[in-house]
Amino acid sequence: MTEIRVLVVDDEKEIRDLVKIYLERETYRVDTAANGEEALRLFGENRYNLVLLDLMMPKVDGTEVCRRIRADSNIPILMLTAKDQEVEKIVGLGMGADDYITKPFSIHELTARIKAHLRRFLVLGSDTPSPSQEQLLTCGTLVIDLKKMTVRKVGELVDLTAKEFELLKFFATHPEQVFTKTQLFRQVWKSDYLEDDNTVMVHIRRLRKKIEEDPSDPKLIQTVWGIGYRFAGGRDEA
């Protein structure tokens, strides 16, 4: 069984020790850091499957640590903070965090959330594909080559921009899952999403014109009204 490794970052020793005890009961290997500087050093030296990160820390704060980790990795990042303010949540999530929990917290709820994010991440795949990971995705009449970054529709090469390909790749590797515009923007553009920004909608409209049989009645990239979009093209066995 592959070892699961978690990095716990908090300037409060009691919290670090408590979380470490409970996660080790789940047979995870746990490293701890007392500040952002130490966290970045450990992250650079080791491979982790998840990071639990306090927002307010000395030396380098949690948002900056999150930003630097997210620049190199898509592992789950859960933010901890003593501030129960919406603006703090937006800042943390905007930097690429996957979840958010406010202190004081239930250790059982925290453990459950960590386990859920780890399950999802390990099922969908890590940030570094293994040599055996599938490089060709077949979705109906589409063939997506992840290595060559090309797409063919009924054998014909489809001319996609880099962002259109990244958007299609994300959809195709997460079939049947519903994503909001905010989630899609963070995953593909790696930046904050502005509520009045229609970038995602424009790219989806262009992508539909290139890959759908009838863009006015899309079968692959479907709109989930009031929520966002999902990729319903499915994936065939390679």
Q: Using DSSP, how many helices (H) and how many strands (E) does the chain show? A: 8, 12
Residue 164, CB half-sphere, CA atoms under 13 Å: how many? 16
- Helix H segments across the chain? 13-25, 36-45, 62-72, 86-94, 107-124, 162-172, 181-189, 199-211
Q: What is the CA radius of gyration of the chain?
A: 20
- Amino acid 130: pLDDT: 42
Average pLDDT over residues 6-20: 96
- Amino acid 133: pLDDT: 42
- Amino acid 45: pLDDT: 92
Domains of the chain: 5-124 (3.40.50.2300), 136-231 (1.10.10.10)
> What's this model's pTM, rounded to 2 decimal places?
0.54
Which pLDDT tens digit goes with each residue over 163-203?
898 899 989 888 888 888 888 888 888 776 666 568 899 99
Say how far apart CA 202 and CA 21 lie, in whole Å: 48
More confident residue, 135 or 214: 214
- Amino acid 131: pLDDT: 40
Q: Lowest mean pLDDT: which of 120-124, 138-142, 178-182?
A: 120-124
- Amino acid 182: pLDDT: 86
Structural contact between residues 210 and 203, judged by C-beta atoms closer than 8 angstroms: no
Question: In this prediction, what percent of the chain has a pLDDT beyond 70?
Answer: 83
- Amino acid 139: pLDDT: 83
**Joined tokens for residue 131:** 């040599």
Average pLDDT over residues 58-81: 85
Average pLDDT over residues 90-110: 77
**Interacting residues of 112 by C-beta distance below 8 A, sequence separation 6+:** none
More confident residue, 87 or 96: 96
Q: Exposure pattern of 64-102 as b/e (b: 16+ CB <10 Å)?
A: ebbebbbeebbbbbbbbbeeeeeebbebbbbbbbbbbee
Q: Lowest mean pLDDT: which of 1-5, 32-36, 192-196?
A: 192-196
